[in-house]
Amino acid sequence: MKDSLIIALDFPDKGQVLDFLVPFGTEQLFVKVGMELFYSEGPSIIEELKKQNHKIFLDLKLHDIPNTVKSAMKVLAGLGCDLVNVHAAGGSEMMAAALEGLDAGTPSGLKRPECIAVTQLTSTSAVQVNEEQLIGVSLQESVLNYAELAKKAGLDGVVCSPHEAGMIHGRLGTKFLTVTPGIRPVESGQQDQKRTATPGFAREQGISAIVVGRPITLAVDPLESYLKIKNDWKGVRI
């Protein structure tokens, strides 16, 4: 997990995923399967990506009552993904239940998937936190509060933006994972993301892993874009 670049495979079907992966050849990637792809293809897409030897973040952001999340995680644990997640807004009891489900569903002899909690989505602004969610503290404090809840519940880390990762590591330690979407090279547009940063900025914050979707998947040359972002993230000068 440490220093990974996770590619968000936000495609509508398996055919488009397989076409996208061709230029990467036999390189082992860390890929993210989100709601669109999982809802269209089901568990078979995970099997296919595992067959290709890729590491997998199953990004379904579970958020429901504790019993439902526990049962769902028990099922997801059987898929053999490396990383899964929940919304921290579901509360500490729900997060603890997610872990119980994962422990119960992980086949014996295998490592349970790491489990992280979404704090505030990277598409959420400080104004939305205060004026839509009616949270009476700053966005930064809200993110830190969710991260502390996640850690107390036993989770392995959080999803946050690159702008909060340093603060979270400072308070909760560097072993607590920070996984950050909202990564945008200088030449990319923001699209619907609000809290964005470059791969280089992410590296300076000591972030555990970055998640990159459209700057790679919509690029004219996805492999070239991937390698450029990876070099910036790893601090490689070219």
Ligand X SMILES: O=c1ccn([C@@H]2O[C@H](COP(=O)(O)O)[C@@H](O)[C@H]2O)c(=O)[nH]1
Residues with active-site annotation: 61
Ranges within 188-207 binding ligand X (CB under 6 A): 193
Ranges within 101-120 binding ligand X (CB under 6 A): 118
Nearer Cβ to ligand X (172/211): 211
Q: Are 113 and 81 in contact (CB under 8 A)?
A: yes
Comparing every residue's Cβ against ligand X, the nearest one is 213
Residue 29 makes contact with ligand X by CB under 6 A: no
Q: Which stretch binds ligand X (CB under 6 A): 15-23, 99-107, 200-208, 209-217?
A: 209-217
> Mapping DSSP to helix (H, G, I), strand (E, B) and coil, where does residue 6 land?
strand
Lookup: tokens for 232? 């910036």
Lookup: tokens for 170? 């400072």
Pick one of 4, 92, 106, 122: the residue that binds ligand X (CB under 6 A).
122
Long-range contacts for 9-13 (Cβ within 8 Å, ≥24 apart)?
9/33, 9/34, 9/37, 9/217, 10/34, 10/36, 10/37, 10/213, 10/214, 10/217, 11/36, 11/37, 11/217, 12/36, 12/37, 12/40, 13/37, 13/40, 13/41
Q: Read off φ and ψ for residue 94, nearest 5 degrees.
A: -65, -40
Minimum distance from residue 6 beta carbon to ligand X (Å): 8
Pick one of 8, 21, 31, 177: the residue that binds ligand X (CB under 6 A).
8
Nearer Cβ to ligand X (105/181): 181
Residue 177 makes contact with ligand X by CB under 6 A: no
Note the residues at the interface with ligand X (CB under 6 A): 8, 10, 34, 118, 121-122, 159, 181-182, 193, 211-214
